[in-house]
Amino acid sequence: MMSQVLSEQSTCVGAFVALLRAHAGITRQLSAQLTAEQGLTLSDFEVLLRLSRADDRRMRRVDLADQVLLSASGVTRLLDGLERHGLVARASCDSDRRVVYAVLTDAGLERLRTAAESHFGQVDAYFGTRFESDDLASLTNLLDRLAEGHPETEDCGPPDEYGRASR
């Protein structure tokens, strides 16, 4: 009677917990695979991917940070690693000397190709075994709504294929 502080819980809490669990489970598995087989973290991969899509295969670090949901310093350090491995290079900007572009190198593109094949396959496998295609669609839709209207995610640019709300 007294220690059950939280017996009557809202459905919202249930949904939240379900999200936490689903996320933990899936990222653990997929990121372990990606790390083991390709030597890339999920964030590494996402960065390489966004760069491959960008004009001239280059992006400002700030924009990268927004799209990959990392802080500015997170991006700096993540790119440090990718630069050390030659997957990304830095380039300066003529019109604004504060900015340092991150440029995907040929090696980086090659690496991304290999990794993408394996990684996307695993994502498909993961979801494919659990969902029919219309469930998949509603899940995506619901999750998109959940991510909407974040202070930091407001006023989104046009969505692209990978990053759904490119912010």
Partner DNA sequence: CCGCTACTATTGAGTACGCAAGCAACTCTA
Partner DNA sequence: TAGAGTTGCTTGCGTACTCAATAGTAGCGG
Binding site for its own copies (CB under 8 A): 3-7, 9-30, 42, 49, 52-53, 57, 69, 109, 112-113, 116, 120, 123-124, 126-131, 133, 135-140, 142-153, 161-165
Least distance in Å: CB of 140 to its own copies? 4
Contact partner, 74, from DNA, its own copies, none, Cβ < 5-8 Å per class: DNA
Q: How far apart (Å, rounded) are the C-alpha atoms in residues 140 and 127?
A: 11
Q: Is 30 in the site for DNA (CB under 7 A)?
A: no
Closest CA to 37 of 121, 124, 103, 109: 121
Contact partner, 136, from DNA, its own copies, none, Cβ < 5-8 Å per class: its own copies
Per the CB < 8 A criterion, the answer to whether 103 and 88 are in contact is yes
Contact partner, 163, from DNA, its own copies, none, Cβ < 5-8 Å per class: its own copies
- State residue 160 phi and psi, 5-degree precision: -115, -165
Instruction: Pick the closer one to its own copies by CB: 30 or 99.
Output: 30
Q: Is 74 in the site for DNA (CB under 7 A)?
A: yes
Q: Is 101 in the site for DNA (CB under 7 A)?
A: yes
Per the CB < 8 A criterion, the answer to whether 156 and 162 are in contact is no
Q: What is the CA radius of gyration of the chain?
A: 19
Instruction: Pick the closer one to DNA by CB: 3 or 95.
Output: 95
Closest CA to 36 of 109, 119, 104: 119
